[in-house]
Amino acid sequence: MDNGPARLFVTAGQTGLMLRRLIPTAVLVPFLLGWLRLSGQRLGVYGTELGTSLLVIAMVVLFVAVLLTTGRALARVEAERAAALVELERRAGALAASQRRQQDSEDRLIQFLEGLPVGVFVVDASGKTVYANRYSLELLGHGIDPDARPEDLSKVYQAYVAGTDQLYPTERSGIRQALRGEAGELDDVEVLTTNGRRPLWVQFTPIRDQSGAVAYALSSFIDVTEQRRVARQLAEQAEELRQSNAELEQFAYVASHDLAEPLRTIAGYVELLARRYQGRLDAEADRFIGHAVDGCARMRSLIEGLLAYSRVGRSEQQLTEVDCDLVVADILANLENRLDEAEATVEVDALPTVRGNALQLAQLFQNLVTNAVKFARPGTPPRVRISACRDGTRWRFLVADNGIGIEPPYRERIFGMFQRLHTRDAYPGTGIGLAICKRIVQAHGGVVWVDDNPGGGTRFWFTLDDVQEAACVSS
């Protein structure tokens, strides 16, 4: 039945179309026309010869009409078939171009992966290794084992827990975690290579299909032998530097402490000479004695500054809650005479409570205030403002003045030891005060910097740790 005439009759092609149009015409039309001829003869409408002629003519006309209709239908089917072939060729061409682009993209991806200085491993959902790039093969020293299961990878590729002879546990391996849909990294893996055991840094991630299921597990890794060697070297150098700094601090403390006593002796005798013989000798002797007294005073200031500098950070900081309002009030009381002599004005906004060492913070504020008063503009009374505002989890403090200012090229230099921008005759001092400020701030885990005051002068900023949540108390 399926392969007989009936199948040809119902087919959608040209043969089926012709059969469906011609067979009914060839069967039904002769019977219908014959019946009409006989009916006309019985009724006497026409004779036998005329009826036969009319029958033939009608059959010819009808068959011609059927053939024309069928021809037009066949032509339409042929046109549709040709259009379908053109569309099919277009789609085939587009599919081929898409496949070429996809292949080109895959080739470029493979070239990219092959050129990476990073090992790349890809395992499918069944656990079969489907790809490993050149770096990974060179590092391991042998090809991949496509039949190795995830639970066997540590053994096959001789992966160990760093610093031990224990094979890396299967449940902790990056491939196993990626197949479970997890992403992450490992830094405790070592593999046995042709150059011995090498530490690896491993990153793993799952690759999902459109349904969200894990289709592949991607593991990338690099040899971090050199990085770890450099890290160890940096750690050793940092420890050596720490020890060197500690020794230097101890030396500075001991040297300055031990120098203080003989200096007091020398200064005492020089001052005794000045009291007894000043004015009794010639002018040149008086000048020499004056230089000696001045030199002893400067040396005393330097030693005291060096001692203060070396004390900061010599031992573990004992940090407590420090009310900066009280600290600043105390140092302003201590500086009252000096501020009055300079006709200085100090404005203090509400200040926060911070974590710190009260004595060191007092020295910090005192150094900045005295610095502002000392470097005032000639003929202009000093004006200082102290304020603070929140800066994330810290407080940012500001000590601003209307003094002579600091040029940008010197704003880092001023925090160095014994760094002076002016002569001692113009502005006396040791060049240690701001270095102590920086050391105190750094010992508290903060930073200090300087910029211009928009109204003229200098602004010193520094940060300290917060001990309470509060809004900005000053702009």
Lowest mean pLDDT among 16-20, 35-39, 48-52, 160-164: 16-20
Mean pLDDT of 118-138: 82
Tokens of residue 64, six digits: 């011609």
Site of tokens 């890809």: 122
Mean pLDDT of 315-320: 66
| pLDDT > 90: percent of the chain | 7
Question: Where residue 305 falls among pLDDT bands split at 50, 70, 90?
Answer: low
Residues spanned by the domain of 148: 117-223
Question: Where residue 175 falls among pLDDT bands split at 50, 70, 90?
Answer: confident
Residue that wins the pLDDT comparison between 292 and 399: 399
| 430 has pLDDT over 60 | no
pLDDT on residue 416: 63
Q: Confirm if 363 and 436 have CB atoms less than 8 A apart.
A: yes
Domain CATH for 273: 1.10.287
DSSP string covering 149-204? -GGGHHHHTTEEETTSSSBPPGGGSHHHHHHTT--EEEEEEEEEETTEEEEEEEEE
Same domain, 255 and 278: yes
pLDDT on residue 22: 67
What whole-number distance in Å separates Cα of residue 97 and Cα of residue 89?
A: 12
Residue that wins the pLDDT comparison between 474 and 148: 148
Question: Where residue 469 falls among pLDDT bands split at 50, 70, 90?
Answer: very low
| Whole-Å CA distances, 54 to 39, 242, 398, 411 | 13, 126, 121, 122
pLDDT on residue 475: 39
Lowest mean pLDDT among 133-137, 302-306, 451-455: 302-306
In a domain, 366, yes or no: yes
Q: Confirm if 130 and 146 have CB atoms less than 8 A apart.
A: yes
Q: Which DSSP letter does residue 415 get?
A: G
Question: Where residue 440 falls among pLDDT bands split at 50, 70, 90?
Answer: confident
Same domain, 219 and 355: no
Mean pLDDT of 94-104: 85
| 252 has pLDDT over 50 | yes
In the three-class reduction of DSSP (H, G, I as helix; E, B as strand; rest coil), residue 335 is classed as coil
Same domain, 55 and 138: no
Q: Which of 311, 346, 370 is the last residue of a domain?
A: 311
| 426 has pLDDT over 50 | no
pLDDT on residue 397: 95
Q: Confirm if 368 and 387 have CB atoms less than 8 A apart.
A: no
- The reported pTM is 0.45
Q: How many residues does the chain have?
A: 475
Question: Where residue 474 falls among pLDDT bands split at 50, 70, 90?
Answer: very low
Question: Where residue 347 falls among pLDDT bands split at 50, 70, 90?
Answer: very high
In a domain, 416, yes or no: yes
Q: What is the per-residue pLDDT across 370-411, written as a single tens digit (0 to 9) for each?
A: 888 887 888 888 999 999 998 888 899 999 988 887 777 666
Tokens of residue 111, six digits: 């070239």
Mean pLDDT of 280-300: 71
Same domain, 198 and 279: no
| 48 has pLDDT over 80 | no
In a domain, 471, yes or no: no
Question: Where residue 260 falls among pLDDT bands split at 50, 70, 90?
Answer: low
Q: Confirm if 108 and 100 have CB atoms less than 8 A apart.
A: no
Task: Count structural domains, the chain.
Answer: 4
Lowest mean pLDDT among 64-78, 194-208, 287-301, 376-390: 287-301
| pLDDT > 70: percent of the chain | 75
In a domain, 303, yes or no: yes
In a domain, 104, yes or no: no
Tokens of residue 467, six digits: 């001990």
Lowest mean pLDDT among 299-303, 322-326, 400-404: 299-303
Q: What is the dihedral of CA 296, 302, 303, 308, to 10 degrees?
A: 150
Site of tokens 């197949």: 179
Same domain, 195 and 158: yes
What whole-number distance in Å separates Cα of residue 309 and Cα of residue 363?
A: 11
Same domain, 53 and 188: no
Same domain, 176 and 247: no
Tokens of residue 474, six digits: 């000053």
In a domain, 108, yes or no: no
Q: Which of 50, 65, 96 is the last residue of a domain?
A: 96
Nearest Cα residue to 218 out of 171, 169, 183: 183
Residue that wins the pLDDT comparison between 454 and 246: 454
Q: Confirm if 350 and 413 have CB atoms less than 8 A apart.
A: no
Same domain, 168 and 295: no
pLDDT on residue 190: 82
In a domain, 455, yes or no: yes
Same domain, 173 and 304: no
Same domain, 434 and 351: yes
Q: Which DSSP letter does residue 426 get?
A: T
pLDDT on residue 3: 56
pLDDT on residue 421: 54
Domain CATH for 181: 3.30.450.20
pLDDT on residue 396: 92
In a domain, 102, yes or no: no
Domain CATH for 340: 3.30.565.10
What whole-number distance in Å separates Cα of residue 427 and Cα of residue 421?
A: 9
Mean pLDDT of 423-448: 74
Mean pLDDT of 301-320: 62
pLDDT on residue 427: 52
Q: Which of 251, 278, 311 is the last residue of a domain?
A: 311
| 310 has pLDDT over 90 | no
Lowest mean pLDDT among 169-178, 199-208, 309-318: 309-318
Same domain, 125 and 188: yes
Lowest mean pLDDT among 44-53, 189-198, 441-450, 460-469: 44-53
What whole-number distance in Å separates Cα of residue 210 and Cα of residue 153?
A: 28
- Which of the given ranges, 21-30, 156-165, 403-412, has the highest pLDDT on average? 156-165
Tokens of residue 251, six digits: 């030396």
Same domain, 254 and 364: no
Q: Confirm if 281 and 328 have CB atoms less than 8 A apart.
A: no
Question: Where residue 365 falls among pLDDT bands split at 50, 70, 90?
Answer: very high
What whole-number distance in Å separates Cα of residue 401 and Cα of residue 383?
A: 6
